[in-house]
Chains A and B, each alone.
Chain A
Amino acid sequence: MAKINNKTKIEVTDGVLIPARDDSSIFSAWRIAFYGAISVLVLLPVLSPEPYCHVFKFVVGFNEDWHFDFASSGLVKTFEVTVLSIICALIIGLLVGLGRISRYPVINRICTVYVEVIRGIPLLVQLFYIYYALAKFVKIMDISAAVIAMAICYGAYISEIFRAGIQSIPKGQMEAALALGMTRSQAIYRIILPQTIKVVLPPIGNEFIALLKDSSLVSILAVSDLLRRGREYASTAFYYFETYTMVAIIYLILTLFFSRLVAIMEERMKTDVNQG
Chain B
Amino acid sequence: MSTRVKVSNVSKNFGHVVALNNVSCEVKQGDVFFIIGSSGSGKSTLLRCINRLENVTSGDIWIENDLVTGPKANIRKIREETGMVFQSFNLFPHLNVLNNITLSPRIVKKVSIEEAEEKARILLKRVGLLEKERAYPEQLSGGQQQRVAIARALAMNPMVMLFDEPTSALDPEMTKEVLDVMKDLADEGMTMMVVSHEMGFAKAAANKVVYMDNAEIIEMGTPQQIFDNPQKERTQRFLRNVLRT
- A residues apposed to B, CB below 8 Å: 170, 172-173, 175-183, 186, 190-191, 194-195, 276
Contact = CB atoms under 8 A, between A and B. Distances in A.
Nearest to B103: A190
A178 B53 contact: yes
A178 B79 contact: yes
B90 A182 contact: no
A141 B66 CA distance: 60
12 contacts: A170-B88, A173-B92, A176-B84, A177-B92, A178-B53, A182-B107, A183-B76, A186-B107, A191-B92, A194-B94, A195-B94, A276-B137
Q: Is the interface of B mostly helix, strand, loop or mixed?
A: mixed
A190 B90 contact: no
Given A172-B88, A195-B94, A179 B51 contact: yes
A14 B167 CA distance: 45
Question: Which residue of A178, A179, A195 has the most chain B CB atoms within 10 A of its CB atom?
Answer: A179
What 5 A-B pairs are tightest by C-beta distance, nearest first?
A276-B136, A176-B90, A180-B104, A172-B90, A179-B84
B90 A181 contact: no
B94 to A, nearest CB: 5
B94 A180 contact: no
Given A181-B76, A182-B108, 9 more contacts: A172-B90, A176-B92, A176-B149, A178-B53, A180-B153, A182-B104, A190-B107, A194-B94, A276-B137
A181 B139 contact: no
B191 interface: no
Contacts of B91: 176
B128 interface: no
B147 to A, nearest CB: 15
Contacts of A182: 104, 107-108
A195 B93 contact: yes
Nearest to A276: B136
Given A175-B90, A194-B94, A195-B94, A180 B156 contact: yes
A173 B90 contact: yes
B103 A179 contact: no
B82 A179 contact: yes
Nearest to A191: B92
Contacts of B51: 179
A194 B136 CA distance: 15
Contacts of A176: 84, 86, 90-92, 149
B208 interface: no
Contact of B152 (A172, A180, A183, A191): A180
B53 A181 contact: no
Nearest to A186: B107
Contacts of A180: 79, 103-104, 108, 152-153, 156
A141 B152 CA distance: 54
Given A175-B53, A175-B86, A276-B138, A181 B92 contact: no
A179 B108 contact: no
Contacts of A179: 51, 53, 79, 82-84, 153
B31 interface: no
Interface string B98-126: 00000110011100000000000000000
Q: Which of A170, A190, A194 has the most CB of B within 10 A?
A: A190
Interface string B17-55: 000000000000000000000000000000000010100
B80 interface: yes
Contacts of B153: 179-180
A181 B76 CA distance: 5
B111 to A, nearest CB: 12
Contacts of B152: 180
Nearest to B81: A181
A274 to B, nearest CB: 8
Contacts of A177: 92, 104
Contacts of A175: 53, 86, 90
Contacts of A195: 92-94
A173 B152 CA distance: 14
A276 B139 contact: yes
Contacts of A173: 90, 92
A273 B109 CA distance: 30
